[in-house]
Every structure is written in C-alpha cells, then in structure tokens.
Chain A
Amino acid sequence: MAPIAPRSGDAVFANVERVNAELFTLTYGAIVRQLLTDLEEVEEVNKQLDQMGYNIGIRLIDEFLAKSNVSRCVDFKETAEVIAKVGFKMFLGVSASVTNWDADGTCCSLILEDNPLVDFVELPDTCQGLYYCNVLSGVIRGALEMVSMKTEVTWVRDMLRGDDAYELKVKLLKQVPEEYPYKDDE
C-alpha cells in the first residue's frame, strides 16, 4: 500500500462542515468582550486568551493530524510551512507566509495578510495593550507542544495597532525526546 499523500489545506477546508464566518467572528468578539468585562485588566485578558488557545491547541492537533494525513515533519522549517499552508488554511480558510528565519532555523515569523478574527474590530483607547488575536498564539503553542516541540509564540505586528500585517513570531525552545514513561521500580 502506497502511503497516502498529505491533503492540502484547501481540500480539507472544502470537506468539513463549517459555520458562518460572521457568526464565528462575532462570537469570538463576544468572548473577548466578556473577558474584558470579567477580568478588567488587559494583561489578564491576554493571558486568558493565550490559555484558552493552548487548551484548544492540545485538542486541535489530533484533528489536524487525522484530517490532513501529514506525517512527521523532518525539521522545524517544514513544521512552520505546514502550519502556515495547511493548518491556517484548514481551520481559518486563510494561509500565512513564513519569513524571517534566523541563522539556526529555530525562529521564524508567520505573516497573515488576512485575518478572519478581526473583521468589524477596532481597539478602543482603553484597550491598547490588548492582543486581540492572542488565542491564535496559544493554539500554535499548544498544538506544537503535543508534537513534542516547546515553543514561544509572540505577536510582532498587529493591524489593530496600526501595523500593515499580522506577524507571529514562533521560536522553537526545545524538542522533547520521547521517553519511556514508567519508572523501573513501579
């Protein structure tokens, strides 16, 4: 049996059941709004969004793997490409580009030209410190952690703050080798 070729993000995106984009955008907006009311501090909201993203990410990875037929990536470069081209396409319907590699290939930027989360959004003056899409960085961090890569994901550019694109910096901290989980004396 020949190995099944990985499916493109478009193919998966076309096949899954989807919700209306505006409903999705507005629901996300409502969540952020509610968090701002509940937590009051913008910093706390950033943290909470990141945590929510992380919890989504650790589950999302299995769906991603099951549907995309992607097998193991050889290196972090390939991983970043797969996230940008397949991952984003599959779950958000947009694709990102990967640039700004550092010399040892452990740090890169994902650039989103189009971001469905932010339609209809303007940041008021009181929330200037808010990373509105912080949930995305959490998702990537959580998903990569499940495939044994500890990463750090931060926002570099944000259109809501007046930049010209959305840029996420993904830094690979370390790869965790798979170890035998039981102790000998158990």
Chain B
Amino acid sequence: MQFFGGSDISPSPPVTTGSGDNGHMMYIFNRNGVCLLYREWNRPLKTLDAQQDHKLMFGLLFSLKSFTAKMDPTSVEKGNLGLPQLPGQGCSFHSFRTNTYKLSFMESPSGIKIILVTSPKTGDLRESLKYIYNLYVEYVVKNPLYTPGTPIR
C-alpha cells in the first residue's frame, strides 16, 4: 500500500474558445481580501493605483455575490441584503459580460477567489479557472517557503 503526495494536474490546460491573446487581467484573492496575485497582459487604461484597484475589484465581487444570493428565486430563507452569509449559504455567479470585456469568477469554499478579465467574445472559462486553482495548489500551497496569506512572489 502506498500513500500521499504528488499531483494529478490534468496534462494540458483546457482548450478555450476564441483565439489566444484575449486576456486582460487576472486576480487571485484570499478570503481576507488580500490580493495574492495580479497580472495584466493588455490594459491600456489605468485610472487607479494598484491597491485601490484591487480593493474595488474585491468589493465588486463581494457585493455582486450578495446580490445574486438575494435574487435567488429557489431558496426560501435569506437574510437582509448585505448580511454576512454563512458558508454553504447562498449562490454565486460564474461570469458577467459587458460590451467591452468579460469577467469570469471562481471561488473555492476556502475563500480563494480567482478572476479572469478577458475579451467579451471568450467562451466558458470555468474549466480554465479550475485549472488555475490546481496550479495554485500545486505550486503555491505546496511550496514550503510560501507563507499562507501573503502575496505570491
């Protein structure tokens, strides 16, 4: 019998629709709103400094999530809007699209939020987000030199 360790990351990233080169930004947040990772590829317009930008993004997701839970027609029991939710309560959204960009969002139950901002033509990115989460586990969480809760360097 054998135990432990190792990886089973799927061998290649999932194939996404659309041609490459359509990513704008990626964010990874933890539960406490710390931006663990920020990367940008194509962001011509910047109006805020980095910290404010991260905070705004986190706030957007946080509020949007509580709105989506509030609007949920299938669940009976819900608190007032803005009331903190217990884990396991409520629903969440996967993505939204404007005429200029698409934002895809994934949150793990441990509170890790992964956000990809891409061109509005991009298809479903949930598989890709999951793949990124697997990479995070493999190369960040399992790195003994990484202190949990600090930005990834």
In Å, the complex CA distance between A24 and B6 comes to 14
Query: Looking at the complex, which one of B3, B5, B84, B148 makes contact with A59 (CB distance below 8 Å)?
Result: B148
Q: Is B3 within 8 A of A178, CB to CB?
A: no
Q: Is B7 within 8 A of A17, CB to CB?
A: yes
Q: Is A148 within 8 A of B86, CB to CB?
A: yes
Interface residues of B (CB under 8 A from A): 1-8, 31-33, 55, 58-59, 62, 84-88, 108-112, 124, 126, 130, 133-134, 136-137, 141-142, 148
Closest to B146 in A: A59
Please give, as numbers and ranges, the residues of chain A lying within 8 Å of B110 by CB-CB distance.
61-62, 65, 146-147
Q: Is B5 within 8 A of A148, CB to CB?
A: no
Ordered by A's residue number, 19 sampled pairs between the chains whose C-beta atoms are within 8 Å are A16-B4, A16-B6, A17-B6, A19-B4, A21-B1, A59-B141, A61-B110, A62-B110, A62-B133, A67-B8, A72-B109, A75-B88, A91-B4, A93-B1, A147-B110, A147-B111, A181-B31, A181-B33, A182-B59
Closest to A74 in B: B88
Q: Is B86 within 8 A of A177, CB to CB?
A: yes
In the assembled complex, the CB of B110 is this many whole angstroms from the nearest CB of chain A, namely 5
The 9 nearest A-B residue pairs measured at CB:
A17-B6, A177-B84, A181-B33, A18-B2, A148-B87, A15-B8, A72-B88, A146-B110, A66-B137
In Å, the complex CA distance between A147 and B110 comes to 5
Please give, as numbers and ranges, the residues of chain A lying within 8 Å of B142 by CB-CB distance.
59, 63
In Å, the complex CA distance between A74 and B88 comes to 5
Judge if A1 is at the interface, Cβ distance under 8 Å. yes
When A62-B136, A180-B62 are in contact, do A73 and B6 touch as well, CB less than 8 Å?
Answer: no
Please give, as numbers and ranges, the residues of chain A lying within 8 Å of B148 by CB-CB distance.
58-59
Q: Is A92 within 8 A of B108, CB to CB?
A: no
Judge if A149 is at the interface, Cβ distance under 8 Å. yes
In the assembled complex, the CB of B138 is this many whole angstroms from the nearest CB of chain A, namely 8
Please give, as numbers and ranges, the residues of chain B lying within 8 Å of A34 by CB-CB distance.
none
In Å, the complex CA distance between A15 and B142 comes to 18
Please give, as numbers and ranges, the residues of chain A lying within 8 Å of B62 by CB-CB distance.
180
